[in-house]
Amino acid sequence: MTGRTPPPGPEALDPSSPPAETTSTTPTDPTPSTTVPGPAGPVVVDPRVSPRLWAVPVDDPDYRGATEQYRLVDSRLAQARAAFAAAQASLEQLGPAEARLTGRLAELERRRTKVAARLDALRTGVRELAVAQYVQGGLGTPVDPGLDLGAVTDRRRRRVLVEVAHEERLATVAALSAVQADLDAAWESTAAERAEVQRRATEADVARARAISDAEQARAELAVLAARAADARLEAPVVGLDMAFVVLDAYVRAADVLAAEAPGCRIRWQVLAAVGRTESTHGTEGGARVLGSGQVTRPIIGIPLDGTRGTMAIPDTDAGTLDRDPVWERAIGPMQFIPASWRSYGRDGNLDGVADPQNVYDAALAAAGYLCRVQPLEGDDALRRAFLLYNNSRVYAEVVLERTKAYDAALALPPGDPIVLPPGPPPVLPPPLPPA
């Protein structure tokens, strides 16, 4: 919409959530989006329009198409989130398991090293003993007959002791070899178990990275679809009303602005809607339609006010600048101001720096100021007086009054805080008329 903030991205609903990371650290997946499924259709959070209208339902093929695509992509985002959560849960389980197995491998390696060192020492001792005995004649060689009996007995006794020690060392070597084999088997089994855990962790890490990528892609698509849905919503007809959503927003915003500027007026959007319906069928007179910016697609210009066809004779006041008629005045725009009145009451309702009678935001705000010459706008008599100021016809006043009541019954909006006006000099409103 011209002069207003563009629609937000999918992260606007949860500004506290940081963007997802792409490293192996735990990312935080942000929540989308500007279009959120609601009980009566999607709720579009669009800062360009009054927050009181975010939940108002509309119906239009373009809008339905955009919201349906949004739901599909939002479902993909939900699947990506679920995949991310599953992968993250796996990593949180596998991480401690890998650490535990790594610790066990380290302990097994320590024990293997210790056993290997003992075995190496024992085997060295066995070899040295065998060599020494071999040098001395070996174990079990015949005793020299020339030795005396005592010497023979001592020789035999030492031989027996050496043989026993040798057997004990061999038995220890055999036992430690069995322990070493068990430790090797346990190490191999633990290493294989850790390798499997690492494989699963790698798969989970890849799945998590894929989920993050899928989520980022879905969020990017959601941002585009949310903007498309918000734009389509502006021009879509409001369910239960005879106007486009952008027109309803123009009426509501104008009433809210006057609530801040002239609280004694108490004008309601339904009053402006009744006038707009009567003057131009909400900006659609002559085949025009209202764009999302509030601008009509073709200028709405009334008949010349030349005193014929029941009109007053009002000579031209603007050299045809606004009404394209250099001779007579003509009513212009969705709210049908004549150029002379527009110069007094024209307003820049959409804050684009231009007061344009062919823009529904500008025209609605100007009409609100014009009607607020009667204050307060409460009760049938006050409304009739205001409508007669707009068009001095009792039939006109009764038609607009009935339409006001119809809009009262058609749609109730939640109350909203008065609009905070931008910095600058306050607008100059005409004083209210005295009571009749």
Q: Which of 8-12, 138-142, 233-237 has the highest mean pLDDT?
A: 233-237
Structural contact between residues 258 and 376, judged by C-beta atoms closer than 8 angstroms: no
Q: At what angle do helices 269-280 and 360-371 cross, to 10 degrees?
A: 110
What does the alpha-carbon distance between residue 323 and residue 358 come to, in Å, rounded to a whole number? 10
Place of tokens 């792409």: 22
pLDDT tens-digit series, residues 183-239: 999 999 999 999 999 999 999 999 999 999 999 999 889 888 888 888 999 999 999
What does the alpha-carbon distance between residue 118 and residue 97 come to, in Å, rounded to a whole number? 32
Query: What pLDDT is recorded for position 230?
Result: 87
How many C-beta atoms surround the C-beta of residue 110 within 10 A?
11
Structural contact between residues 418 and 259, judged by C-beta atoms closer than 8 angstroms: yes
Structural contact between residues 411 and 405, judged by C-beta atoms closer than 8 angstroms: no
Task: Examine the pLDDT at 35 and tell me if it is beyond 60.
Answer: no
Structural contact between residues 234 and 7, judged by C-beta atoms closer than 8 angstroms: no
3-class secondary structure per residue, 280-315 = HCCCCHHHCCECCCCEECCCCEEEECECCCCCCECE
Q: Which of 88, 98, 159 minimizes the C-alpha distance to 129? A: 159
What does the alpha-carbon distance between residue 292 and residue 105 come to, in Å, rounded to a whole number? 68
User: Which residues, including other chains, have CB under 8 Å from residue 37's CB and lie 6 or more apart?
Assistant: 43, 71, 74
Lowest mean pLDDT among 124-138, 284-298, 406-420: 124-138
The Cα-based distances of 424 to 40, 97, 385, 427, 429 in angstroms read 40, 65, 32, 9, 15
Tokens of 45: 């959070």
What does the alpha-carbon distance between residue 201 and residue 208 come to, in Å, rounded to a whole number? 10
Q: For the residues 152-156, what does the mean pLDDT come to?
A: 62
Amino acid letter, 379: G
State the alpha helices, DSSP H only, in 322-419.
339-345, 360-371, 380-390, 394-410
What does the alpha-carbon distance between residue 249 and residue 234 come to, in Å, rounded to a whole number? 9
Query: What pLDDT is recorded for position 161?
Result: 65
Tokens of 49: 């329009």
What ranges do the domains of the chain cover?
10-235, 245-410
The model's pTM: 0.68
Task: Examine the pLDDT at 89 and tell me if it is beyond 50.
Answer: yes
Containing 331, the helix (H) or strand (E) segment is strand 330-332
What does the alpha-carbon distance between residue 399 and residue 393 come to, in Å, rounded to a whole number? 10
What does the alpha-carbon distance between residue 404 and residue 270 come to, in Å, rounded to a whole number? 5
Q: Which of 44-48, 117-121, 244-248 has the highest mean pLDDT?
A: 244-248
Q: For the residues 319-348, what does the mean pLDDT come to?
A: 96
User: Which residues, including other chains, have CB under 8 Å from residue 49's CB and lie 6 or more apart?
Assistant: 234, 245, 246, 249, 253
Percent of the chain with pLDDT over 90: 61
Task: Examine the pLDDT at 365 and tell me if it is beyond 70.
Answer: yes
Q: Which of 44, 23, 52, 38 minimizes the C-alpha distance to 413? A: 52
CATH 1.10.530 assigned to domain 245-410? The reply is yes
The Cα-based distances of 4 to 8, 46, 258, 350, 361 in angstroms read 12, 11, 19, 7, 12
The Cα-based distances of 151 to 4, 159, 161 in angstroms read 119, 12, 15
Place of tokens 């030492």: 158
**Average predicted confidence (pLDDT) for the chain:** 82
What does the alpha-carbon distance between residue 173 and residue 179 come to, in Å, rounded to a whole number? 10
pLDDT tens-digit series, residues 263-298: 999 999 999 999 999 999 999 999 999 999 999 999
With H, G, I as helix, E, B as strand and everything else as coil, classify residue 119. helix
